[in-house]
A and B are shown apart, each in its own frame.
Chain A
Amino acid sequence: MAALLWRPAGRYGLRGRLGPQLCIRHAVPLGTSAKEDKERCRNKNAGLNRPISPYITIHSWSLPMAMSISHRATGIALSAGVSLFGLSALLLPGTFESYLEPVKALCLGPVLIHSAKFALAFPLMFHTWNGIQHLMWDLGRGLTTQQVTRSAVAVLVLSVLSSAGLAAL
């Protein structure tokens, strides 16, 4: 929304020759909502076929950035798992036990089972601890850069420890 305040400045203000009156007149329509502004911008750009500036691949990675996208990725993965589980309950025949039997019959080694449990628990634990960090931010706490870095490290450490703990159960 800052763009709609800057646009008149860019077009008229920077030249420094026009009087304040003209600026004010052209600066008046500032009250468009964010949604209208976004739509207008997108519609204008859609027709122009402009190449998109590289922004995902060239950004240097930071810890908060990685944590944020991991939170989203684990969330999507967990939702997919839950939906898969729910849909299978509706669509597949037999009971849950009947699906566990063949897996039990495989007699997989304890290391493999342990690793599988860790792999299942880790996304859940990471998403949970990172979620707590988000809720803390929503309360307005821990927002300085140093606190964010510290809490991110705490989330990672807690995730690994709790996943290991759960896998050992």
Chain B
Amino acid sequence: MEINKDNIEKKLRDAFEPTYLNIDDCSSGCGLKFDTIIVSKKFEGKQLLARQRLVNDLLKDEMTKIHAFTQKTYTPDEWEKKQEKAATNPECPIKSTSACTGNCGNCPK
């Protein structure tokens, strides 16, 4: 199966049933590159290393062909707290990144 954003998204959705998922395809001349943010209840009770190993194991085959892969993994609670923090921070760290959905309602239109 071809490695692309849609296929990776499907695998992540099926495995983690995320409440929020963002995948940026940043592939370039260096090769395939994906930046992901995964928010899932399945990460609860697990430290960062365990969470990332779950994702790595899921994408084991893809990883042999992907050049670079970043993952930010949160539980729904952690993600909510992060959003709240960003909302009270005038210089929102998410605002200028691809993780911004434009829907949190904190930025004036």
Say whether A associates with B.
Answer: no
On B, residues with C-beta under 8 Å from A are none
